[in-house]
Amino acid sequence: MRQVITTIGLFFLLFTFYFSLHAQPNSDNLYSKPLKEVLNDIQKKYGVTIKYADSMVAKKMVNYAEWKYRPDVEQTLDNILKPFELKVKKEKDKQYKLSVYEYYRWTVEEGWAELDRIAAQYKTVAEWETRKQGLRTCMLEALQLDHLPISPGSKSIVTPKRIFDGYTVENVAIEIMPGLWINGSLYKPLKYKGKIPVILNPDGHWEKQRYRPDCQLRCAAMARMGAMAFSYDLFAWGESLLQFKIEDHRRSLAMTMQALGGIRILDYLLSLKDADTARVAITGGSGGGSHTVLMTALDNRIKVSAPVVSLSSYFYGGCPCESGMDIHGCMGRTNNVEIAAMAAPRPQLVISDGGDWTDRMPEHDFPYLQKMYDWYGKKDLVTNVHLPQDKHDFGISKRVPVYQFMAKYLGLNLKAIQDSAGNINESRITIEPEQALYVFGDKGEKLPAHAIKGFEQLEKVFAAEIEKARTNQRYKIGLIDLMLLKRQKLGAVTLTAQLKADGVEVDMGGLGNRPTFENQLLTDSIRQQFLQTAKENRVEIFSLAMTGYYAQSFCERTEYIKSIEDCIKTMQLMNVKHAFLPMGVQCDLKKNPSVRDSVVARLKVAGKMAELAGVIIGIETALSAKEEVQLLKEIGSPAIKICFNFSNPLKEGRDLIAELKLLGKDRISMIHATNKDSVWLENDPQIDLYKVKKALDEMGWSGWLVIERSRDAKKPSDTKYNYGANTAYLKKVFQGQ
């Protein structure tokens, strides 16, 4: 009986399956047909051939199939294939090949239209510079490198030097994160004096990459001309395969690792005593060309660039190592040609050919670059060598213009690689076997024991390192909720995040005639909201401000202890280590020296309270640095320090840097990096922040740079406009962003 039931059930299933395959198409079944059947029908109907692998169409059903047919076969195929993220490439007349949708490949017309849309957003150099800074900041964030992982500081591994005709080679492994190496070969002139130029040479996705003859020829030729040329592996490529699988190269994080690697390579090379930091260049082909464009946009240490067979407005990079991180989503979307324009006015050579996506460079993309360079009066500093009969390679026809370009802008000796007739001659260069370029031995036996093994481990290490970099940043940029017009409001936290600052100072609330501050943060639910919002937005609440004492008298109020107690208690509950206490108008020790004894006595009490709690109270006075040193001696508490304000010495005509050095690193709690309200910090003629940073570096100080004022007089109440600009500038100066 069971067997009969089973047989009937099987028959029913087969009948149902057969009926579903042969049922009349209608709206109940969505007019559905198998994709393979539809493609076969299209081939017959339109008289075309479509090549594809069965695996690409297996188990795919087309809804409303015949409703998508159009008189034009290509429109029909687009309608049918788009829902499956598939497309066809036309190989020749009436012959197509099925392929997956390529997000990075646009039509020429689409690419040009997009570049026109992008370029229409700026009309002046000032507008472009603002966008360029925004692009750079955003791209670093997209790469997750807005806070650079701290270098392990380990000594690079260098193999013995090999000597050839006019140049030397040594292989180098640089540890760019704990357990992660980037490997390459450093070519130098055999004989030279003084400092010499530096040229980075990332290569593309050609087989054997830096081991290839054309890469060795290029780097050796540059060394013979008088430069140090460093050829290096892309991520999960070359010797990097000792740590990862080849498929890891197509992970999005590969793009970040390559950018970090390029930065660390520059750190290493420019630390060498014979490196000329004013003459730094980069050139790479294909994927190495995309890397060249990106590195030049991100790192201002690069002065000369030459992307080869890579740059196009209608091609974004076919490998995730070129477009896997969303740098192209920045500032309302960008593309590689605009990113290349970020090099202006630094010399740039663009080499294109007729055999790839650079085939129409002279027609639209290059004129855009010329326009951008012309804005700086440097139109002649961008050059295009277009080779319409050439294919996608880094052959001699590409190397020759690169040699000439580098010789011109780096002051190299081109004659060192020319024959008597003036032609480029690479015949004196030795092509080494692949193994000779290895750092870690023929079989990787010299790879250090603590090396990362596998992509999963890399992700964990990277996540830990960027979090460490974020929290341990030497100089952090802070905003003030009061100045953002959001006193003790959650909106100050989210606005701080939007403006890309690292943290926010939250005010304790108004004081008035109350015995203590109007402080909501002692309410558990409100305090937790602040802490949770800060955590979600990755914003640090670094200080609590007792700004009520700007107008109220700290030196005369009988209830001052209660206010200090409330502030310290809130600090402990929120894990905040710094508080800001202004002496204000009534306790101005310069104008009212008679209150000095009261100020000292009260700060001694506050200092003991802060010491017991393990926190710091930073005071702001109108005194000179010399007088503040004496005041701190009288107070006698390590928990009372100076909150240094740039505007105080500047308005009195004192030397800002001398004042900082006189106070010294141990007496400064925080710095109010601000001046009078008239111009942004970057436009302030009274302050050279690069000199300030140099002084703080030499002092060994680290901590919070807090933006208080320095607003543009034309728009003083536009918080996003003013604090966004000042934050970006401080990050540029103090964090290299």
For 181-208, how does the pLDDT look when each residue is reduced to its tens digit (9 = 90+)?
999 999 999 999 999 999 999 988 888 8
User: Given 411, 433, 465, which residue is the final one in a domain?
Assistant: 465
Residues 384 and 487 in one domain: no
Q: Please report whether residue 85 resides in a domain.
A: yes
Q: Please report whether residue 113 resides in a domain.
A: no
Residues 567 and 420 in one domain: no
Query: Which pair of tokens denotes residue 151?
Result: 């270098």
Q: Please report whether residue 131 resides in a domain.
A: no
pLDDT, residue 737, reads: 58
242: DSSP letter: G
Residues 167 and 86 in one domain: no
Residues 405 and 517 in one domain: no
Residues 224 and 318 in one domain: yes
Residue-wise DSSP of 467-490: HHHHHT-SEEEEEETTTTT-TT-H
Residues 435 and 555 in one domain: no
Q: Please report whether residue 137 resides in a domain.
A: no
346: helix, strand or coil: coil
Residues 482 and 457 in one domain: no
CB 336 within 8 A of CB 316: yes
Q: Please report whether residue 193 resides in a domain.
A: yes
Distance CA 551, CA 24 (A): 85
What is the enclosing helix (H) or strand (E) of 468? helix 455-471
Residues 348 and 437 in one domain: yes
User: Given 50, 80, 100, which residue is the final one in a domain?
Assistant: 100
Residues 446 and 490 in one domain: no
- pLDDT one-digit tens code per residue, 627-669: 999 999 999 999 999 999 999 999 999 999 999 999 999 999 9
Residues 653 and 617 in one domain: yes
Range of the domain at 39: 22-100
Which is nearest to 200 in space by CA: 249, 245, 234, 244?
Answer: 234
What is the enclosing helix (H) or strand (E) of 657? helix 656-663
Q: Please report whether residue 534 resides in a domain.
A: yes
Which is nearest to 35 in space by CA: 16, 52, 18?
Answer: 52
User: Given 465, 497, 518, which residue is the final one in a domain?
Assistant: 465
Q: Please report whether residue 162 resides in a domain.
A: yes
Residues 615 and 689 in one domain: yes
**Cis peptide leading into 593, omega within 30 of 0?**
no
CATH number of the domain enclosing 42: 3.55.50.30
Domain count along the chain: 3
Residues 623 and 711 in one domain: yes
Which regions of the chain are under pLDDT 70? 1-23, 736-737
Distance CA 429, CA 427 (A): 5
